[in-house]
A and B are shown apart, each in its own frame.
Chain A
Amino acid sequence: SQQGEEDPQALSIQEGENATMNCSYKTSINNLQWYRQNSGRGLVHLILIRSNEREKHSGRLRVTLDTSKKSSSLLITASRAADTASYFCATDAGYQKVTFGTGTKLQVIP
């Protein structure tokens, strides 16, 4: 199985609603990061949460981490059409490679 798996695979919401994406992983981590990627474009780093942190906020983003369940969630509040993109979680165990999840494709309908 894969280290990072997001669910849902696709999510469609109305502008103004909140969007929640989940990520599960299998092995111990040092950091978990969330990235956004617009279609065919580069990776935009959103937020990093360390293994000793439980929750982190950045603007309209809220990330939680539950190391006992090996899971994380990304909440985008008051979504905008510009939030339409794919969202990936990525985990690392320190200096080792980053492993990406399969991604959630978010569509925000104006």
Chain B
Amino acid sequence: EPEVTQTPSHQVTQMGQEVILRCVPISNHLYFYWYRQILGQKVEFLVSFYNNEISEKSEIFDDQFSVERPDGSNFTLKIRSTKLEDSAMYFCASGGGNTEAFFGQGTRLTVV
């Protein structure tokens, strides 16, 4: 069964550093998403991406964040100048138009 793959599963970074979270969506999917879940809280939408551009973003997704689909298979989330409050689980998802979104298992980001 096809699945969304995220790497790494856990990343620890120093405050102020840049991190790149990686995702390999399901191959024939066209819509890509990033979500965030701060420990103990609900899963929050960050951004959706379609046709090589952002289609929607939340107020959380400010200039500190960027997304890219560099090579037609990977979908990345870059967080610049990380802050302690960026510590969270980050989920990638992909969808195929009028089908449901499939989620990866998440990357746990810890900013120290």
CB within 8 Å of B: which residues of A? 30-31, 33, 35, 40-43, 45, 48, 88, 90, 92, 94-103
Q: Which of B33, B98, B106 contacts A98 (CB 8 A)?
A: B33
How many residue pairs between the two chains, A and B, have CB atoms under 8 Å in the bound complex?
57
Query: In whole angstroms, how far apart are the Cα atoms of A102 and B43 in the complex?
Result: 8
Docked complex Cα distance between A61 and B111 (Å) = 37
Q: How far is the CB of B47 from chain A (nearest CB, A)?
A: 9
Bound CA span A19–B100, Å: 25
A101 touches B42 (CB 8 A): yes
Residue numbers in A under 8 Å from B102 (CB-CB): 45
**What's the least CB distance linking B89 to chain A, in Å?**
8
Which A residues lie within 8 Å of B104 (CB)? 42
Nearest-neighbour CB distance to chain B for A69, whole angstroms, equals 22
Given the known A-B contacts A42-B91, A42-B106, A43-B91, are A98 and B101 also in contact in the complex, defined by CB atoms under 8 Å?
A: yes
Interface SS of chain B: strand
Identity of the chain B residue whose Cβ is nearest the Cβ of A32 in the assembled complex: B100
In the assembled complex, the Cα of A31 lies from the Cα of B95 at a distance in Å of: 12
Q: Given A31-B100, A42-B106, A45-B102, is A97 in contact with B45 using a C-beta cutoff of 8 Å? A: yes
Would you list 14 pairs from A and B whose C-beta atoms are within 8 A, ordered by A residue? A31-B100, A35-B103, A40-B108, A42-B91, A42-B104, A43-B103, A48-B100, A94-B98, A95-B31, A98-B93, A98-B101, A100-B42, A100-B44, A103-B42
A63 vs B70: C-alpha distance in the bound complex, in angstroms?
39
Q: A103 to B45, alpha carbons, bound, how many Å?
A: 15
